[in-house]
Amino acid sequence: MEFRDLKAQYLNNRTAIDNAIQSVLLESRFIGGEPVRQLEEKLAEYVGVRHCITCANGTDALQLALMAWGIGENDAVFVPDFTFFSTAEVVPWVRAVPVFVDVDADTFNMSAKSLEEAILAVTDEGRLVPKAVIAVDLFGQPADFPAIRAITQKYDMLLLEDGAQGFGGKIGDKMACSFGDISTTSFFPAKPLGCYGDGGAVFTNNDEWAELIESYKVHGKGDNKYDNVRIGLNSRLDTIQAAILLAKFGVFVNEEIDAVNETACLYSKYLSEVIDIPAVKQNFVSSWAQYTIKMPGVRDRLKDILAQNDIPSMVYYPKPLHEQKVLMTNNKMYTDLNTASMLSQTVLSLPMHPYMSADEIDKVAQTILKVKK
């Protein structure tokens, strides 16, 4: 069994993907060009924002946002303690300080209550200026943006949505990657919408930030790429990846989001009586980057038993960020981070992708139920 079956996905859409790659080879324009432009237009329309700017990966996308905002020394950027390293890594990269915020045990996403506590603690201390919040759509479910937006407004802070795992999710009619002042995503192969290498994108309605990010991602270009007016990066999405994403996009929107939601529904039907299953908030739609259960006390044993039955599973994430020593240099904890610590000891992510068969879902569920009984 595959944890995320990228080969099944390719075979399901093989002709379109082969043709897309072939047409870029025949055109022999490998950077920029029509596929990149078309993709940006399509994604901006789908998400419902004015600008989509593609870039080299989801980490650069976050960094480009912080650069456009001029975040730097003595600025505090609030991040959930339970997420992939990238979310926090970009903060010291621009010389600001990541402040860790605890998460909600049911949704795994940033706790609005803990966020406000952390902002007040930083303000009290008086060393750093609370500038921005990075809220993550962890495992596919949008963060609690209604509550988090209320807080960033109250304290006059910027909101960055890290939608690397959330692309395709929604709150009501509003799509993931439209909730931040700037939002970002990743096209890493195993993300909800993946390419065949690295890729990422930035979304915003703000014309000025969009223009800055267009410049920063190509060596701080001015009027052209040999007129360099600021220190930037080389962070373009290449043409083959854009063509692959265009070829996969229709299936993603029309089939795959429904398919992963059906898989999640089946898992939950089998497991909900006995196991702590992932909760999706009312009116929220997840893109199910992961289906993550909590197995206090038996997580590692269950992982072994699943492996013996040819069922792959993953621990996302084995360490909360505040236990990553490199992030704690010149840094400290401003609030309790107990839920994040607890989750790192108990979570287990199960095989989840749009091409799982009912038999496979059944086999995973029955194996788990046997361990629990």
Ligand X SMILES: *Cc1c(COP(=O)(O)O)cnc(C)c1O
CB distance 153 to 181 below 8 Å: no
- Min separation Cβ 25 and ligand X, Å: 24
Sole binder of ligand X in the list 9, 109, 152, 165 (CB under 6 A): 165
Q: Kindly indicate which of the ranges 18-26, 51-59, 240-248, 261-269 contains the residues binding ligand X, using the contact rule CB under 6 A.
A: 51-59
If we measure between CA atoms, which residue out of 114, 107, 84 comes closest to residue 99? 114
Stretch that binds ligand X, among 144-152, 162-170, 202-210, 357-365 (CB under 6 A): 162-170
Dihedral angle over CA of 297, 300, 301, 306, nearest 10 = 130
Single out the residue of 200, 232, 320, 351 in contact with ligand X (rule: CB under 6 A). 200
Residue 235 in contact with ligand X, rule: CB under 6 A: no
**Should residue 164 be labelled a site residue for ligand X when binding is judged by CB under 6 A?**
yes
Q: Is 83 in the site for ligand X (CB under 6 A)?
A: yes
Minimum CB–partner distance for residue 297 and ligand X (Å)? 27
List the one residue from 136, 210, 213, 302 that touches ligand X (CB under 6 A).
136
79 binds ligand X (CB under 6 A): no
Shortest Å distance, C-beta 241 to ligand X? 11
Q: Taking a C-beta distance cutoff of 8 angstroms, is the pair 165, 289 a contact? A: yes
Shortest Cβ distance from residue 34 to ligand X (Å)?
A: 23
CA 186 to CA 199: how far, in whole Å?
A: 6
**How far is it, in rounded angstroms, from Cα 104 to Cα 15?**
43
| Segment interacting with ligand X, rule: CB under 6 A, options 158-166, 215-223, 234-242, 274-282 | 158-166
Is 84 one of the binding residues for ligand X (CB under 6 A)? Answer: yes
Using the minimum distance from each CB to ligand X, give the nearer residue, 58 or 180: 58
Residues 245-274 that bind ligand X (CB under 6 A): none
9, 178, 186, 241: which one binds ligand X (CB under 6 A): 186
Strands 170-171 and 284-285: antiparallel
Residue from 9, 13, 59, 178 touching ligand X (CB under 6 A): that is 59
**Judged by CB under 6 A, which stretch of 26-34, 159-167, 246-254, 325-333 contacts ligand X?**
159-167
The size of the interface with ligand X (CB under 6 A), counted in residues, is 15
Assess 86 for contact with ligand X (CB under 6 A): yes
Among 13, 54, 57, 111, indicate the residue that binds ligand X (CB under 6 A): 57
- Residue whose beta carbon is closest to ligand X: 58
Per CB under 6 A, the segment of 19-27, 53-61, 235-243, 343-351 that binds ligand X is 53-61
- Return the range that interacts with ligand X (CB under 6 A); candidates 11-19, 78-86, 218-226, 291-299: 78-86
Using the rule CB under 6 A, give the single segment among 41-49, 52-60, 67-75, 276-284 that binds ligand X: 52-60
By the rule CB under 6 A, 87 interacts with ligand X = yes
Query: In the bound complex, what is the minimum distance in angstroms from residue 370's beta carbon to ligand X?
Result: 31
Q: What is the 3-state secondary structure (H, E, C) of the chain?
A: CCCCCHHHHHHHCHHHHHHHHHHHHHHCCCECCHHHHHHHHHHHHHHCCCEEEEECCHHHHHHHHHHHCCCCCCEEEEEECCCCCHHHHHHHHCCCEEEEECECCCCCCECHHHHHHHHHHHHHHCCCEEEEEEEECHHHCCCCHHHHHHHHHHCCCEEEEECCCCCCCEECCEECCCCCCEEEEECCCCCCCCCCCCCEEEEECCHHHHHHHHHHCECCECCCCCCECCCCCECCCEHHHHHHHHHHHHHHHHHHHHHHHHHHHHHHHHHCCCCECCCCCCCEECCCCCEEEECCCCHHHHHHHHHHCCCCCECCCCCCHHHCHHHHCCCCCCCCCHHHHHHHHHEEEECCCCCCCHHHHHHHHHHHHHHHC
Closer by beta carbon to ligand X, 61 or else 275: 61
Where does this chain bind ligand X (CB under 6 A)? Answer: 57-59, 83-84, 86-87, 136, 162, 164-165, 186, 188, 198, 200
